[in-house]
Structure 1
Amino acid sequence: MAKPSVFQNLGALLREQGKIPEALSIYKLGLDVCPKDPGILANRANIYKDSKPATALFDIFDALKANPSLVNSWVTAIAILVDFDCKDYALHVAKQSLLAGCADTRLIIQILDLLGRCADRTSPILKTKLHLQILQSLQNVTATLPVTQRIDTLLAIAFHCADQGFSEQSTSFYHQALRLLPLQSDQLQLAERKKIQSLITSHSWNMACMLLKEEEFAQGWKLYDYGLRTPSKSPQQWQRALRKPFSIKQVPIWRGEPLEGKHLLVLEEQGIGDSMMFLTLLPTILSEAESVDLIVGERLEPIYRRVFTGQARVWTHHEFEDQTFNPATFAFQTALGSIPQYRFTTIDCYAPKVPLLTISPSHVSRLRQNYLDQVGAAASTKLIGVSWSGGGTKSRVKAKSMPVALFQELLKGANNTIFVSLQYGDVAQRVEAWKSQGIPIIHDPDIDALLDMDSWLQQVAACDAIVSVANTTIHGAGSLNIPTMCLLCEPSDWRWLRGSAIQRSYWYPSVGIARQSVSGDWQPAVDSTLQWINDDCPMPCGPYSNQPAIE
């Protein structure tokens, strides 16, 4: 009698050649000779899974009864059930696969994805009891994996737990992975140790962003420093690119030590928006340290030199290098984004000084009057600054940016309003097109945020309110404490927290949030923003945290 492997191999060969009917005939013959052989059934299921998924499931379950260690069959079964929207049954199958002891990274990652898909639709009991049972089973099966796969899997589970709000379990899985890190072990080659360290670094950065989104600030900010050595998909090399004038040996990194009587060097973050956001926290540090020197980019230097006059010395990188400072001048150095882990671990610590930025009232007044005169508007007319396009990687720019046609709908629906374009880049043609349709909008060719950010901030300050997608405009308007509505995509990044209950920014008290209901659907954000504009753009007063209010 022919062995089952003969039918399996011949059928697989015919499949590779595109001879599907012939392969099915071979599998049928094989099952006549070797009834319920799991290998033949699994191979036939691979043919049926796209065209006849229900038939494939019957073959898969028969195969798994005979051989529960067929990882690919478990993976295929769960995928089919998800496609059928039978997620509860898929959860049951996932649990059975783990009880069968299937330790495979592919299966585990798929189960984590399934748990994430089920999180918003299952009952509270299923989300807690069954969810946690599956997580425990996942933990058990990782014990048999090779160390690199085990670390990768534990970190993936930790990330999933953080994503679903299981902060205690997330921390536990994360530290289990760290304890497996054998950097000093002679049992692993250098390349393997580097691979493991890379896994730790990238997962820790992802964990940081997820924990911060869940308001788990104490742990999230500690892990945020992994961004300094996590590769980036954008042109910059790292997620947090840092330019340091002194090495760590020359000037120690600040680790939260008392700053009384100490001289501190503070370094900007890699992006304009991030630097502006973290600079809102600097007043707290200024109140502690003997002196602070702050290094920022050329676009920000004149702005923050004015803000911190008499409190901190503000330099560009070139200016600082020209001073030839002795490293011994400074007790510590720190990146702006590394400060929160030591002083800002609860949400009520944020926005210690509002507004932060200072402006020239006379300049702003002249600019405002000039805009009103251009369109012959009365002094009581609302001037609303607008920006509709975001920055970042190509995919994020598209996700964060408002489609022009939909943003046009927002502009047309506002009453007694003159709009001022704050959008950076070459937008003159777009603005003229809107003006030709009767939309009252101003483009000032004398102001370019990319060339002169200080003048651009004066333009922002000339407006009564701001409507913008999540870009640098939000940081400028928020730092000036101007009533602002942020049009926020879904999913948004960590700085906006999670959930529709969050109605304003914890970084900027004047910034409200109008969210997409689901990814790509801007209409609810447009509707709520229009209502806000026609209600005269009040300061936001909704929740800025998911935590219970402090009595």
Structure 2
Amino acid sequence: MSPPQTQSLMQAALAHHQQGRLAEAAALYQKILQQSPKHPDALHLFGVLMHQGGQHEAGRRLVGAAIEIAPDRPEFLSNLGQILKALGKPEDAEAAYRKALEKDPGFVDALANLGSLLQERGAIAEAIGLLRSAIEKAPNHANAHMNLGNALRQDGLVEEAEAAHRTAARLAPLSPEAYANLATTLMDRDALEEAGRALRRALLLAPALAEAANSAGFLEFNRLDYVAARRWFTRAVLLAPGYAAPETGLAELAYFSGDIETSLKHSETALRLAPDEPQIHLRHAIRLLAAGRLEEGWREREWRHKAPDRVRRLGLPPIWQGEPLKGKRLLVCAEEGVGDEILYASIYRDVMKLGAELVVECDARLLPVLGRSFPDALVHPYARAGDGFRPVQKYDWLPHDKPVDYAIDAGSLALHFRRRLEDFAEEPYLKADPERVRAVRETIEGTGDGLKVALAWRSRNRTAFRDIHYTALSDWLPVLREPGIDVFSIQYGDGWEEEIESLSKETGLGPHVLSDLDLTNDFDDILALVSAADILICPSSTLGWIGGALGKPTWLFHPVPLFVQYGTDGFPGFPSIRSFPKAVGTSWQTIVEAVRIALGDLRAR
């Protein structure tokens, strides 16, 4: 075959390939290779075609043969990286991409592909840098914009991620992946209707795209349409049996339906398919704890240290692995949420009983509370830099007069001290400021002789999905109408004042507001109101653990299952907390009525 004939066949094969006529393209590539077995472009493109058809190993051999003949072609190396990634060899794929960039540092496909791989492997900062570089060199490279959106989303920059995904969809209007990724980001922003439109576009373009079917499942899950969600997750499993994400979706469905054992089976399947994915391990941990399988659950929770948004701790002493602690100094590092800090502070006394001297790191707002509650410990506020998605904490403040021997995250103490239900200590461990308690009690007693109830009806952050755990203030009208009950707001966050004002204008009812208390940022104020009230009523939130840690009667309303019950009907370690449970998807009306009746009984007594 003459060179012009070969070139003509290559052009025809490439045209078929680009139009998706893979069988016709394959036939022409094979014809060229029969005549010219070492034709590098035919070997390379035939290998790419085999990879696109799911025959990744055959594609790897063909592209590898092309590289042996033409080792300096960056496009060959970049596509080899794509094939190696599909074969589940991310380290080899990364090496191929980097080799392509050694040949041509400005090769945009390699920059985009390497950025995508690093994002998936948790190296977010480097991924974003590479992808921005790719876009700078090729502003209309849709894949680079799409991958940048994925990296920004993982880094918590959701607004920027949405902009990148919108650009990708504009540049590649026939790309189902672009619309599927845009939909995922829109779901993060709770823009469910627009996310649904993007997913419908993706599925029209590619009805068999498993990723889009999986996202549709999570969309319906967020809408609380569990029947539709199950249908989409099942479809995604059938389309891609090796895809872990829909198995996690089915696990979530089973869990929120109260079927923990089925939920565990699905998450075990997901872990077999994606054994190195921290988020799957963390959700599996929640299910294990909810089933009462404590030691297994705490071990799975250790995967949080591998999550991309984990706290990076600089300057720590060695991590404590269970060595003898008598005479040693142990640093307990703060968890990322103040609620977790309070929850795991219940273990501090257990640690000190082993003869350890504690150094406790905490949110600055908890400094007076923990200092008062654990006077034998050195309590220090953390210095956190970065943001909520890439936090960094430095430890140059650690004492030098008596160095710290070991360090451990507060939540990791549970693996050593909470392996059985019998391990949970049940005495209160936080102390409120007595002067503030006295002042608040005088204020609330001035409202009359009714039972003093501190009420929070929701958490700080609200989304359509999170709201399944919380009530509206208007749900509590039966309690607000109950004679002999004086209700005080202990709600925190934003927007609650407007909720109280609106309900008051509409019904003339509402909880009392102690305007001189800062119930969002001042924990001494929060502890004072909880201590001064007769009873605290709240959802599963930081407030619940405060009530339990103070030993105050706390009525906690929540959907089931709730993992901190550890397979029981109560709250191990918190005997003062009473559970008011309901199934997900059912009305709060029955729970509010049960609380109203219980308050009436308590008032009568």
Sort the Cα spacing of 1:493 and 1:230 in 2 relative to 1 into closer, same or farther, 3 A: farther
Alignment partners' CA distance in 1, 2:396 and 2:471: 43
Match of 2:483 among 407, 415, 423: 415
1:104 aligns with 2:206: no
What residue identity is the alignment partner of 2:242? T
Letter in 2 for 1:389: R
The answer for the alignment partner of 2:595 in structure 1 is: 529
For residue 405 of structure 1, report the CA deviation from its aligned partner. Answer: 2.2
Sort the Cα spacing of 1:448 and 1:173 in 2 relative to 1 into closer, same or farther, 3 A.
closer
Counterpart pick for 1:266 among 332, 343, 357: 332
* 2-structure distance, mates of 1:411, 1:432: 14
Q: 1:208 to 1:162 in 2, by over 3 A?
A: farther
Give, in whole Å, the separation in 2 of the partners of 1:175 and 1:265.
35
Partner of 2:406: 332
Match of 2:500 among 431, 436, 442: 431
Aligned to 1:329, what secondary structure does the other structure show? coil
Deviations 1:148-169 (A, max 9, x none): xxxxxxxxxxxxx865466xx9
Count the aligned residue pairs. Answer: 382
Per the alignment, in what secondary structure is the counterpart of residue 300 of structure 1? helix
TM-score of the aligned structures, taking structure 1 as reference length: 0.59
- 8 Å Cα contact 2:361-2:379 kept in structure 1: yes
Matched residue type, 2:356: E
What is the 5 A alignment of 1:141-540? 163-164=262-263, 199-231=276-308, 237-238=309-310, 241=311, 244=313, 246-247=315-316, 251-309=317-375, 311-317=376-382, 323=397, 325-326=399-400, 329-350=403-424, 352=425, 354-373=427-446, 375=447, 377-378=448-449, 381-392=450-461, 394-412=463-481, 414-425=482-493, 427-435=496-504, 437-439=507-509, 441-489=511-559, 493-497=562-566, 502-519=568-585, 521-536=587-602
Q: Which amino acid aligns with 1:265?
A: L
Q: Distance in 2 between matches of 1:363 and 1:118?
A: 45
Query: For 1:453 and 1:473, how far apart are their aligned partners in 2?
Result: 10
CA RMSD of aligned residues (A): 4.6
Aligned-pair distance for 1:493?
Answer: 5.0
Q: Alpha-carbon deviation of 1:115?
A: 9.2
Superposed CA offset, 1:322-370 (max 9, x none): 75534981221001001111121112212x2521111244542332222
Deviations, residues 3-39 of structure 1 (Å, cap 9, x unaligned):
xxxxxx99xxxxxxxxxxxxxxxxxxxxxxxxxxxxx
- Give the deviation of 1:409 after TM superposition: 3.4
What is the SS of the residue equivalent to 2:602? coil
| Partners of 1:353 and 1:534 in 2: CA distance | 27
1:345 alignment partner, SS class? coil
Matched position secondary structure for 2:437: helix
Provide the rounded CA distance (Å) in 2 between the counterparts of 1:331 and 1:448: 38
Residue identity opposite 1:450 in structure 2: T
- Distance (whole Å) between structure 2 residues aligned to residue 220 and residue 117 of structure 1: 19
Q: 3-state SS of the aligned residue for 1:280?
A: helix
Partner SS for 1:423: coil
Spell out the pairing of 1:93-132 with structure 2 (5 A cutoff): 104-105=241-242
* Offset at residue 218 of structure 1 (A): 0.8
When residues 177 and 287 of structure 1 are mapped into structure 2, their CA distance, relative to the original with a 3 A threshold, is same
Q: What TM-score do the two structures reach when normalised by structure 2? A: 0.54
Deviating beyond 6 angstroms after TM superposition, the runs of 4 or more aligned structure 1 residues are 108-121, 169-173
Q: Work out the CA distance in 2 between the residues paired with 1:339 and 1:424.
A: 29
C-alpha displacement at 1:393, in angstroms? 6.6
Identity %: 20
Is the alpha carbon distance of 1:537 and 1:280 closer, same or farther for their aligned partners in structure 2, counting shifts above 3 Å? Answer: farther
Supply the distance in 1 between the matched residues of 2:401 and 2:315 (Cα, whole angstroms): 7
Distance (Å, rounded) in 1 between the aligned partners of 2:325 and 2:398:
24
8 Å CA contact retained: 2:468, 2:584: no
Pick closer, same or farther for the CA change 1:327–1:245 going to 2, 3 Å: farther
Q: Distance in 2 between matches of 1:321 and 1:200?
A: 29
Q: Give, in angstroms, the shift of residue 389 of structure 1.
A: 1.7
CA–CA separation in structure 2 for the residues paired with 1:293 and 1:341: 19
Aligned residue number for residue 157 of structure 1: none
Deviations 1:476-499 (CA, angstroms, capped at 9, x unpaired): 111111111112135x5532446x
- Secondary structure (helix, strand or coil) at the match of 2:277 reads helix
Partner of 2:323, secondary structure, is: coil
> What is the CA-CA distance between 1:439 and the residue it aligns to?
3.4
CA contact (8 A) 1:303 1:357 kept: yes
Is contact 2:456–2:539 with CA below 8 Å preserved after alignment? yes
**SS of residue matched to 2:488:** strand
The answer to whether the Cα contact below 8 Å between 1:165 and 1:214 also exists between their aligned partners in 2 is: no
Q: Structure 1 counterpart of 2:452, which letter? A: L
Question: C-alpha displacement at 1:396, in angstroms?
Answer: 4.8
Stretch of structure 1 that moved more, 471-480 or 275-284 = 471-480
The 3 A distance-change label for structure 1 pair 422 and 326 is: same
Counterpart secondary structure, 1:536: helix
Tell me if structure 2 keeps the 8 A contact 1:163–1:210.
no
Instruction: Report the alpha carbon displacement of residue 531 of structure 1 after superposing the two structures with TM.
Output: 2.0
* Structure 2 CA distance for partners of 1:389 and 1:112, relative to 1, 3 Å: closer
Runs of at least 5 residues in structure 1 that lack an aligned partner in the other structure: 1-8, 11-70, 73-78, 86-92, 122-126, 128-160, 179-198, 232-236, 540-551
Unaligned runs of 5+ in 2: 1-19, 22-206, 209-215, 217-224, 228-233, 385-393
1:470 Cα offset (Å): 1.8
